[in-house]
Copies of this chain bind each other. A is one copy, B any other.
């Protein structure tokens, strides 16, 4: 079975290797919202198993049963299947069921949301960065807050996944408060919603002007490091060439 990263969602960012894996599969398994972004020619005539949010475990169990029955099965994730995606849970279930020797397992990488967002923002990730999910469904908030604190203190650029939902409306502001202590109000913050999809929104502003209320679960937030600046409306994290060479 394969776990396939769909990239940001638009077919123009789906790699040929991922397309081939989906084309070959006879069963395609995924969150309903991601299945919708699979080109329909790749779904036609197949066993499509789509489940809702928080249905991850059921979804992976069904995918493993499908593969165990000898059906070429692809589990899809948006972005890259390894970055907070289904690769881990599928592998974990294969391990628990003692099926690692019986079911071939491969991961097809995709363009992760952080790279899609960064591309639209300019060049925020050109230096060391930390990627943190603000979702506390599976991780205690104290652990998340400690990671934000560590990343802010060590001057990582910070990409925040799952930054805010209706249920979790306050944690983004708490995380940005931690960053503010280390970097002040002027550090640039980028917000990308629906990268490379219908309804795409991109904005950059100093932290002091950033409104967490504009953020939802379809968004990704990137906070600059101490050297990041705004250049022509873009986020620019210099790598250090200007100091070394005379630009």
Contacts and interface: CB of A to CB of B under 8 A. Distances in A.
Interface of A: 5, 7-8, 10-17, 20, 56-57, 80-85, 87-96, 100-101, 105-112, 115-116, 118-120, 122-133, 137-139, 143-144, 146-147, 149-151, 153-156, 231-232, 234, 236-245, 247
Nearest to A231: B95
A247 B154 contact: no
Contact of A150 (B92, B115, B153): B153
B82 A115 contact: yes
Contact of A82 (B80, B83, B125, B244): B125
A105 to B, nearest CB: 8
B119 A81 contact: yes
A56 to B, nearest CB: 7
B17 A15 contact: no
Contacts of A16: 11-14, 16
Contacts of A120: 107
Nearest to A107: B119
A80 B126 contact: no
A40 B13 CA distance: 21
- Identify the 10 closest CB pairs spanning chains A and B, nearest first: A88-B126, A100-B232, A138-B240, A150-B154, A88-B123, A107-B119, A87-B123, A12-B17, A109-B119, A109-B115
A92 B241 contact: yes
A87 B123 CA distance: 6
Given A150-B151, A156-B147, A231-B92, A83 B15 contact: no
A101 to B, nearest CB: 7
Contacts of A231: 91-92, 94-95, 100
Contacts of A150: 150-151, 153-154, 156
Nearest to A117: B109
A57 B245 contact: yes
